[in-house]
Amino acid sequence: MRHQWGGELILGWDHWMDLPSQIGDQIAAHVVGAGPGEVIVSDSTTVNLYKLVHAALGHRPGHVVASTDDFPTDRYIVSAVAEAHGRRVVWIDPHPVDGVQPADVAAVVEGAALVLLSHVQYRSGALADLAAITTVAHDAGALVLWDCSHSGGSVPIGLRAHDVDLAVGCTYKYLNSGPGSPAWLYVAEGLQADMRHPVQGWMGAADVFAMGPAYEQDLGVRSFLTGSLPVLALTAVAGGVSLTAEAGIETIRSVSMDLTDYFIALVDEHLTPLGFELGTPRDRHRRGGHVSIRHPHAQALDRNLRARKVIGDFRFPDSLRLGLAPLTTSFEDCWRAVAAIAEETRRLA
């Protein structure tokens, strides 16, 4: 603020203009496993989903496959964009704990244009088999769009290794960039020149300062930029991403699996006798970084726990979701949280 905006004023744009690509390349290299020039940071996850679903439906004919258990914004956006294109959405209804399976997709994907799914389910924490589902979609001629909001920064993703077409994710969960920080989006290099989206802003033009009479699209991932960049918020994303890069995503994943194993062992020992059920897969390779536990009084418990600074989320109808962020959550934090949950549950009984 003081040195760049205060001292350089608009001259700062000379170097700020490249922040979406520079930070995108860091996310590509250290967080999601993509190549340089395949990721940019821009807008919100919601707006990025809107742009990418539009682009995918403009790219090929057919219906859309999506999931009834997906995060609301994903379901709402896909419904609206499919309707605008005159396409059907075929909904998968996955197992509430284990999440979407390759066979669920295989059953409805023939003739589809696009499969949109979340890599880690926001309620149960189930980790989808991204590699197998991507192959199932490709075998049927469909594109895949993975929402990695709950896996970016917590689970290695391997977008390029698994030949993923499109992906989005937020930066304010495991990437620690602060509330409302801009999201990232990924478009596989081979698709970029053929993708069109409807938010044709000047920042997505091939030559931003040519200011010509008509829109000429950038042929790279920058075409998915829209308007002026939120420079301060982008700076926060750079900080969050560099922490992740410094720790290493493989190390983060390994600590995350140990933390969730430990948390689940504590749940079995101290909370199951009080009427809790685990709402997250037990197999550490089939879950992401958060754990959900179910109890009929989950909503009241969540409120009372927040007053004690044990801060989770209540998720309708009976889930208490705890996000064990490996960069900031310790094993002792897990122990203290479970002790507090047990105490508060006894008090309610």
Residues with catalytic function: 71, 147, 172-173, 321
Single residue of 41, 170, 236, 298 touching ligand PLP by CB under 6 A:
170
Say how far apart CA 43 and CA 70 lie, in whole Å.
Answer: 20
Which lies closer to ligand PLP via its Cβ, residue 38 or residue 147?
147
Tokens of 341: 């949950």
* Nearest distance in Å: CB 168, ligand PLP: 8
Single residue of 41, 81, 183, 278 touching ligand PLP by CB under 6 A:
183
Say how far apart CA 153 and CA 171 lie, in whole Å.
Answer: 9
Residue 73 engages ligand PLP in binding (rule: CB under 6 A): yes
Tokens of 31: 């967080």
* Nearest distance in Å: CB 9, ligand PLP: 30
**Contact window for ligand PLP (CB under 6 A) among 6-14, 143-151, 287-295, 334-342:** 143-151
Query: In 10 A of CB 282, how many CB atoms?
Result: 12
**Radius of gyration of the chain measured on its C-alpha atoms:** 21
Single residue of 16, 50, 71, 186 touching ligand PLP by CB under 6 A:
71
* Nearest distance in Å: CB 119, ligand PLP: 9
* Nearest distance in Å: CB 171, ligand PLP: 9
Residue 79 engages ligand PLP in binding (rule: CB under 6 A): no
b/e per residue 16-42 (b: at least 16 CB within 10 A): bbebbbebbbbbbebbbbbeebbbbbb
Q: Pattern of binders to ligand PLP over 20-59, x per CB under 6 A?
A: ------------------------xxx-------------
CA angle 244, 250, 252 (to 5 degrees): 50
**Contact window for ligand PLP (CB under 6 A) among 55-63, 70-78, 221-229, 282-290:** 70-78
3-state secondary structure of 10: helix
CB 206 within 8 A of CB 216: yes
In the chain, the amino acid numbered 309 is K
Looking up tokens 């997906």 gives 70
92-131: contacts with ligand PLP (CB under 6 A): 118, 122
Residue 150 engages ligand PLP in binding (rule: CB under 6 A): yes
Say how far apart CA 101 and CA 89 lie, in whole Å.
Answer: 18
Name every residue whose Cβ is closer than 8 Å to that of residue 202 and which is 6 or more positions away in sequence. 208, 211, 227
**Contact window for ligand PLP (CB under 6 A) among 27-35, 67-75, 83-91, 321-329:** 67-75
* Nearest distance in Å: CB 53, ligand PLP: 12
CB 33 within 8 A of CB 159: yes
Which lies closer to ligand PLP via its Cβ, residue 55 or residue 266?
55
Single residue of 147, 165, 302, 344 touching ligand PLP by CB under 6 A:
147
Looking up tokens 């069109």 gives 196
Which lies closer to ligand PLP via its Cβ, residue 222 or residue 290?
290
Would you say how long the chain is, in residues? 349
Say how far apart CA 135 and CA 138 lie, in whole Å.
Answer: 5
Binding site for ligand PLP (CB under 6 A): 44-46, 71, 73-74, 118, 122, 147, 149-150, 170, 183
